Amino acid sequence: MKIPENDPITLSNDLLHSLLNHHIPLIQSFKGKWGLIKSKLADLQSQLTDFSEFQTSLTNPLSLDLLHSISQTLTDALLSAEKCQDTNLTEGKLKTQSDIDSILAKLNQNVKDCEILIKSGVLQDGIVSGSGSKRELVRAESRNLITRLQIGSPESKNLAMDSVLSLIQEDDKNVMIAVAQGIVPVLVRLLDCNSSFDIKEKTVAAISIISMVDSSKHVLIAEGLLLLNQLIRILESGSGFAKEKACIALQALSFSRENARAIGSRGGICSLLEICQAGTPSSQGLASGVLRNLAVFEEIRENFIEENAVFVLIGLAASGTALAQENAIGCLCNLVKDDENLKLLIVKEGVIECLRNYWDSCPPVRSLEVAVELLRMLASSQAIAEGLVSDGFVVRLVAVLNLGVLGVRIAAARAVSELSCNTKTRKEIGDLGCIGPLIKMLDGKAVEEKEAASKALSLLLLYAGNRRIFRKAEGGIVSTVQLLDASIQNLDKKYPVSILASLVHSNKCRKQMIAAGASVHLKKLVDMNVEGSKKLLDGLGRGKIWGVFARH
């Protein structure tokens, strides 16, 4: 039976009428299956009524393709119904049953596709005129593409995926519009179903693009384990291209504790480490970035130890790309936090040499922050700190303290605090020029910078030689007194108090403190029970007596 090219809605309604009223009532074979078909035909009849109400039903390409598919399915059903009106099946029972099952499957798909198309809003959009706003054009195109990803042949879906990638690669606004129209759940289902290799690669590429737009990340996170499982599966068995894109998406998804647990418990860390060892240079940088995020969570660190991650990360820190080295060092930094044994292990495995080489390779200033942070972590172990000083890291810190990037300066000041663990290291740090840059940091805009510098100085000034350096520096006393101001919140006042207490026996310093208003600030700090404030205030008051014993 040939299908006319014009008005497929009328044709389908005629076929439905014939099936429901003239053929199915006469069925003699497979009555149960024909009962299921009848139910689906009733659904289809209602949907065809909906189609007829849309002016674009006979012009929209998606609608036309679907209506022609329905007509063909109904034609096949009519032919099978005629054969089943006789108990003597001329083509045999198995062949006839197979045909009926095929018709039922096609009807199910037709009904599902109709539901998607009707709900999509594509038919209401009509033909979007060129005079519409760009946002409206993108919104209509997004709805159209999302619908095409769900209905039609694999070839049609593949072409739709190409168009999706073109659309969302254009700019972030297009990504946000597509996400608002509901593209994310559709993409996740494409990863989860029996899609072709081509479609899955393009789908994970689209997901990676969405993951890089901050305002859209939460929609990916909402997909939960379904998306995570698919991405981890790609890490295990996908192509190099797909693995890279999966890593990009996982970087956005691995900041939450729940997702980190899921990745760790599903073998994700093992797969990521394998990429760090044998992947492309680009994928190594991305995989190590995911590992760096995961290592933040204490409960996941055991997974790293089980997989011997330390050795892989040190190898990557020694010979990877600049991004891979930065992420490997950042990951090690997160892993060794509060773990003395792990600090000693990575030192034994050569991390200090890796750290020195990375530092001296002149990476971008911001990329130095992880190196300084790892230095700080290692310096917190007294067994390691002296070795770091003798290895020349203090000279490197002095240079970093003068850099223009706030986060790097703060990390460096905190590293100085950790290295100032005894008189020997305090002397070496002072002799190598750390005092001056730290004094400058006291005047920084950020409270974190002021506190990091004041803490480092409070420890360094426990050594008399450093106190002499501080006294000679211009503005040190005044800058420290200003930090006593109670209106400066979130700054631990015990550090500036400690600095001033170490200098109060000097007549010159004491006069500078009083002139800068230290007594007024200290009275408030005494009321706040700040450690050392009362003793310092008393010291300022007894200045005339102490002046006799002052050393200059």
Which alpha helices (H) appear in 487-532, and where do they start and end? Answer: 494-501, 507-515, 518-527
Contact (Cβ atoms closer than 8 angstroms) between residue 20 and residue 14 = no
Using CA atoms, how far residue 183 sits from 40, 120, 144, 519, 545, in Å, is 28, 11, 11, 64, 78
Look at residue 386 in the predicted model and tell me its pLDDT. Answer: 87
Residue 61, Cβ neighbours under 10 Å: how many?
A: 12
From CA 386, how far away is CA 398, in angstroms rounded? 17
Look at residue 3 in the predicted model and tell me its pLDDT. Answer: 41
DSSP code for 3 = P
Look at residue 552 in the predicted model and tell me its pLDDT. Answer: 43
Using CA atoms, how far residue 534 sits from 45, 245, 387, 467, 508, in Å, is 88, 60, 38, 21, 21
Query: Nearest CA to 44 among 130, 106, 129, 89?
Result: 106
Look at residue 550 in the predicted model and tell me its pLDDT. Answer: 47
Q: How far is CA 459 from the centre of its chain?
A: 38
From CA 318, how far away is CA 375, in angstroms rounded? 16
Residue 353, Cβ neighbours under 10 Å: how many?
A: 14
Q: pLDDT digit string (tens) for 359-405?
A: 999 888 889 999 999 999 999 998 899 889 989 999 999 999 988 89
Look at residue 303 in the predicted model and tell me its pLDDT. Answer: 93
The CA-CA-CA angle for residues 519, 410, 288, to 5°, reads 155
pLDDT < 70 stretches in the chain = 1-6, 125-132, 543-552
Look at residue 6 in the predicted model and tell me its pLDDT. Answer: 62
Contact (Cβ atoms closer than 8 angstroms) between residue 143 and residue 149 = no
Look at residue 176 in the predicted model and tell me its pLDDT. Answer: 96
3-state secondary structure of 281: helix
Using CA atoms, how far residue 504 sits from 459, 499, 511, 512, 533, in Å, is 16, 9, 9, 10, 12
Q: pLDDT digit string (tens) for 447-464?
A: 999 999 999 999 999 999
Q: Domain map of the chain by residue range? A: 8-124, 477-552
Length of the chain (residues)? 552
Q: How far apart are the first and last CA of the chain?
A: 112
Contact (Cβ atoms closer than 8 angstroms) between residue 56 and residue 123 = yes
Helices (H) and strands (E) in the chain, counts: 35, 0
| CB-based burial, 527-541: b 16+ in 10 Å, e otherwise | eeebebbbebbebbe
Q: pLDDT digit string (tens) for 41-73?
A: 999 999 998 888 888 888 888 888 899 999 999
Contact (Cβ atoms closer than 8 angstroms) between residue 234 and residue 203 = no
Which secondary-structure segment (H or E) carries 56?
none
Using CA atoms, how far residue 123 sits from 120, 247, 278, 406, in Å, is 8, 37, 49, 54
